[in-house]
Amino acid sequence: MRITLTIALVLCSCLAALAQTYSVTGKVTSTASQQAVPQAEVLLANTGTLFKADAKGNYTIPNLAPGTYTLTAYGEGWGAATQQVIISNSNISLHFSLKPLEGQLREVNVKGEREKTFGITRLNSVEGAAIYEGKKSEVVVISDITANKATNNSRQVFAKVAGLNIWESDGAGLQLGIGGRGLSPNRTSNFNTRQNGYDISADALGYPESYYTPPVEALDRIEVVRGAASLQYGTQFGGMINFVMKEGPEDKPFELTTRQTAGSWGLLNTFNSIGGTKGKLHYYGFYQYKRGDGWRENSEFNAHTAFGSLHYKPNEKLEIGFNYTYMDYLAQQPGGLTDMAFGQDAQQSIRDRNWFKVNWNLMALTLDYRLGERTKLNIRNFGLLAQRDALGFMGKISRPDDITQPRTLLQDQFNNFGNETRLIHRYDLGNSFSTLLVGARYYRGFTDQQQGDGSAAADADFRFYSETGAPNASSYDYLSRNVAFFAENIFNITPKLSLTPGVRYEWINTNADGSYRAVMADQAGNIIRDEVVPEDRESSRNVLLLGLGLSYKPSEQMEVYANFSQNYRAINFNDMRVINPNQFVDQNLKDESGYSTDLGFRGNISGILNYDASLFYLAYKNRINFQNIPGTTNRIRTNVGDSRNLGLETFVEADLLKLYYGKDHPNSLSAFSNITLVNTKYSSPLTDIDGNEVELAPPVIAKLGLSFKRNNFKLAYQYAYTAEQYTDAPNSLLEPTAVVGVIPAYWVMDLSGSYTYKRFTLETGINNLTDNRYFTRRATGYPGPGIIPSDARNYYVTLQFQL
């Protein structure tokens, strides 16, 4: 509490200080003639904001607080010039002289410089071929965080991203489970999940779950955009998350990085990467191998991940890139626990026959072409060849596993292809400029899903063992097709105020062609019906989504933003047909729709203060969820009604040493507070659901932390708290199978540090410092069913060498 109050007082005092602002004025002229450069523009690199010069070459940048700024001036057909200016207590005059370009045009980078904000910043208004004006966004800068990167510790990596509910049921970091604003964290399926801008999930529409998560050690940054991302990235309610890979250095032909990690329970992780630039070629690649035994019994895993990237730039206008990603892992799953078993011994496992295997092959071919100083074309072609196999006994965890009976095997193959093409153009409008983005997307996904009897043994044997050697429970081919067109435009009404309307049209077609086995028994358990039922289902729909964003910047250190965006989510393949003894599926399911809104203010003073506070409202119609079947312990997945999520997200971080001793102080002690409050409610015709809280939407999520830096030494402490939450729409408190029920409130502490000496870096830390016993998930199927305990206290040590 003292930390939070201190940061709040610091925020108030700094906001008051921002009231005193100054301006930079000057002239953009030709070096040779000293005449005004026509249609010149000046970029404020700190924020990515552009200012137009008049016909005489004069420009003005108003409302700048004291600080250091980088300005770049350029014009069409002219070379760019960059200068840095320090504002203290007066207005500044700064002139630019430009040289005419000879031959081809030169590309001007309008991304600007990222603020130094201790591991978290936000996206500029325009980046690459995308518009983020007026949208809530966060960027996790991996090189600036101190965390357990070898195991992709999401609690630490996403510590400063507001409002995320995180599933911690995979201590190895093989899969990521995050959800925001009251949406399920299940395999991050409520986000449109991307790597370097292209899709990486199993099927973006029919099966948007992410079985592949890029290793944190290979990442440069993680970009998170909330619900307003639906207009540019698709119809997910949660928004978009984009994992941006590292790139090789541009100033040398070869660089080698090797990281070796050892940790608790036999964890061994080796990560090795190379990269560099040679002439017109730019490359980067890595290989990671990871193994461990896990905290619980029956939790061993082996994982291989590799990535290669090659970019060719024949001239200043064109750049062609190719990416290939490979991942293969095998993990034994210890299964779930009942509430009683968890209380007795959370480390135990009563399943030893459950296994999970994933093979992922992801490819992308990209093209960036600059048509002019103001126009850029971006083309992304991507494809996926992948398979996931789940093997085990999925009966209720309250029942023993009969080792004489065959296990259930689910086998999915994914073959997907897509193209996304974007054109971004900056043009004059009145006395200001506007930015237009138009794009189109084509996506075709094909999934072969089979389910049937596996072997009765306990090993990882992923073969069907029916009488015919084929799947004997269900076999389906799922085809999804999607065509989309979208457009957004930034209208700069004044130098401080902008409006960004957007529209997206979607044509979605999903097909299910296959058969399932229907077995019926009498009360004595005798089979009275056993037949194969063919099924052929198709659904096509046309969806129009509208949105509007607003941004008001009273100064370069503060922004007020607001947006409204419609959302839509089509039913996925598992909503069509999956045979699970713990649940049934309503064959008359409807798609989900709704909208999301944001209203907030944010800003930063580089290296000293960073803040963002916003209100959000998420309206969800025809929400798909589980309903209890009266008189049984079974549940059915159906449309249960509408819901609304209302919340407040706050983040503030300040460098306490620089605040008290000045920004030139050599050391850093930063404190951050990340608190989210959420209120949710169902509106349903079902009496056992109407008025209930939305599941997996804890009313309070709080993370507090301290980070100290001195020269090459870093030390970080974090406290994370998540309030009690329900796991189903009926708000069940306790159920014998442990599939549903309350997830009690829990808190966790982490401590991490690093030290760099020349080419060597040593990293170490302790996760779950106080050795708490807690859980974040109740699984309905794999890897449960039942309670999935989170890891106990564990340590790691990493040694890095860079050449």
Phi, psi of 232 (to 5 degrees): -100, -25
**CA pair distance 659, 161, nearest whole angstrom:** 23
Classify 768 as helix, strand or coil. Answer: coil
The predicted pLDDT at position 23 comes to 86
Average pLDDT, integer, range 686-693: 92
**CA pair distance 195, 177, nearest whole angstrom:** 16
Stretch (H or E) spanning 659: helix 656-661
Given pLDDT bands bounded at 50, 70 and 90, which one contains residue 245? Answer: very high
Shortest CA distance to 257 belongs to which of 276, 244, 242?
Answer: 276
| Residues listed for the chain | 803
Position 230 in a domain: no
Position 226 in a domain: no
Stretch (H or E) spanning 660: helix 656-661
Burial pattern 277-289, b for ≥16 Cβ within 10 A else e, equals beeeebbbbbbbe
Count other Cβ atoms within 10 Å, centred on residue 86: 9
Position 452 in a domain: yes
Task: List all residues 6 or more positions away from 252 whose beta carbon is below 8 Å from its beta carbon.
Answer: 276, 277
Rg over alpha carbons for the chain, rounded to the nearest Å, is 27
Listed in order, strand segments (DSSP E) in 156-218 are 164-166, 178-180, 191-195, 198-199
pLDDT beyond 50 at 115: no
* Structural domain for 785, as ranges: 243-802
Total number of domains constituting the chain: 2
Output the average pLDDT for the chain.
Answer: 88
Shortest CA distance to 303 belongs to which of 325, 324, 323, 331?
Answer: 331
Position 146 in a domain: no
Position 116 in a domain: no
Stretch (H or E) spanning 243: strand 239-245
The predicted pLDDT at position 484 comes to 96
108 burial class (0-12, 13-18, 19+ CB within 10 angstroms)?
A: middle
Position 198 in a domain: no
Question: How close are the terminal C-alpha atoms of the chain, in Å?
Answer: 44
DSSP string for residues in 363-383: EEEEEEEEEETTEEEEEEEEE
What's the pLDDT tens digit per position in 381-398? 999 999 999 999 988 888
Q: Among 98, 132, 147, give the residue marking a domain's end.
A: 98
pLDDT beyond 70 at 105: no
Pairing label, strands 67-74, 49-52: unpaired
Position 112 in a domain: no
The C-alpha torsion from 65 through 430 and 79 to 26, rounded to 10°, is -40
Q: In whole angstroms, what separates CA 103 from the centre of its chain?
A: 42
Token pair in block for residue 448: 């072969």
Predicted structure pTM score = 0.88
Q: Which residue has the higher pLDDT, 209 or 222?
A: 222
Given pLDDT bands bounded at 50, 70 and 90, which one contains residue 468? Answer: confident
The CATH number of residue 63's host domain is 2.60.40.10
Angle at 220 between CA 216 and CA 224, to 5 degrees: 80
Q: Among 98, 129, 148, give the residue marking a domain's end.
A: 98
The CATH number of residue 729's host domain is 2.40.170.20
Position 771 in a domain: yes
**CA pair distance 65, 23, nearest whole angstrom:** 9
Contact 778, 788 (CB under 8 A): yes
Asked whether the bond before 783 is cis by omega within 30 degrees of 0, the reply is yes
Average pLDDT, integer, range 102-108: 37
**CA pair distance 790, 171, nearest whole angstrom:** 7
Given pLDDT bands bounded at 50, 70 and 90, which one contains residue 424? Answer: very high
What's the pLDDT tens digit per position in 492-526? 988 889 999 999 999 999 888 888 887 766 666 67
* Range scoring the smallest mean pLDDT among 107-111, 125-129, 317-321, 543-547: 107-111
What's the pLDDT tens digit per position in 587-643? 778 888 999 999 999 988 776 889 999 999 999 999 888 777 776 666 777 888 999
**CA pair distance 55, 38, nearest whole angstrom:** 6
Token pair in block for residue 522: 């009498």
Q: Among 75, 98, 121, give the residue marking a domain's end.
A: 98
**CA pair distance 213, 194, nearest whole angstrom:** 10
Shortest CA distance to 779 belongs to which of 175, 273, 128?
Answer: 175
